[in-house]
Amino acid sequence: MKIFIVGLGLMGASYAQKLTSVGHDVFGFDKDHNTNLKALNEGVIKGYNLKDMKDCELVILALYPNQIFEFIKSNLSYFDTQLITDISGTKTKLLDEVLELLPKSINYVSHHPMAGREKSGYDHKDVTMFKNANFLIIDSHHAKPHHIETIKKLGLDLGFKRQIVLSAYEHDELIAHTSQLTHLIAVSLMLMNKNEHTKDATGDSFRDLTRIANINEILWTELFLDNKNALIQKIDEFVDVLGELKHDILASNEVILKEKLKESKKRRISFDETNTR
């Protein structure tokens, strides 16, 4: 398949490298010209002229959420019969705007690769991060069944293990819990204590929990604000659960505290078993 990827940062470059390796003809473009040249010289892409989008079967927008709408708006003349997809981490607001902008004749199916790294940019591309990861596909009123199948095939070619088809609303509700809240918790742990000796008393648990606090502040500010209603609800739920645990500790309620820890362990074991199948 002839594929064009817009944005050759961490995710876009990793997509390009993997899709090229499995036999697709991949073209790409990044606003940084040196990145375009590097990707071309390394054989990651075959060309970087935006006009090549017209001849491609699939266009992947590997951009920040607020860049996607502006890119499509500025380059509508390049879109015709291709299937367009994006990798944005939030969907409802984006799709409302994009599907309103696009002519009905243009095909659009959004998806979200549940993979990433703390570092960004072309030089940190890594095709191994897709292995065994989840791949979420958005079924909107605009999505045709055979185009959803094309995006499923894309996920398989990239190496994702599990694919889920869901609505934009369902996606944003889930992501608020499994991704955005977890990043906020990691950030909170780093912000709550400025003691310079903290690093001298940390073990694996602190390092594991705060790994994702090494965060892309531009991207994640966008994601938090775009999905703020769902995210605030999850923050409130988390605060409630933490408050209950605080109450149990204050009351020295050993029996209830043990039961909650047992339930947590049970759910984690079940989670691990599901992810190893």
pLDDT tens-digit map of 147-183: 999 999 999 999 998 999 999 999 999 999 999 999 9
- Closest alpha carbon to 59 in 93, 10, 107, 91: 107
Report the Cα 163 to chain-centroid distance in Å. Answer: 14
- The residue count for the chain: 277
Looking at the DSSP bridge assignments, the partners of residue 145 are none
In contact, 255 and 122? CB cutoff 8 Å: no
Predicted TM-score (pTM) of the model is 0.88
Residue that is written with structure tokens 């992947």 in the block: 60
Q: What is the mean pLDDT of residues 27-52?
A: 96
Q: Could you give the domains of the chain?
A: 2-166 (3.40.50.720), 172-275 (1.10.3660.10)
pLDDT computed for residue 25 by the predictor: 97
Helix or strand (DSSP H, E) at 241: helix 228-250
- Average pLDDT score over the chain: 93
Q: What is the pLDDT of residue 130?
A: 93
Nearest C-alpha neighbor of 30 from the set 44, 136, 172: 44
pLDDT at 50 over 60: yes
Q: How confident is the model at residue 277 (pLDDT cuts 50, 70, 90)?
A: low
For the cut 90, the answer to whether the pLDDT of residue 199 exceeds it is: no
- Taking each helix axis from N to C terminus, what angle separates 10-21 and 33-41, rounded to the nearest 10 degrees? 20
Instruction: State the helix-helix crossing angle for 228-250 and 254-275, rounded to 10 degrees.
Output: 140
The whole-angstrom separation of Cα 50 and Cα 106 is 17
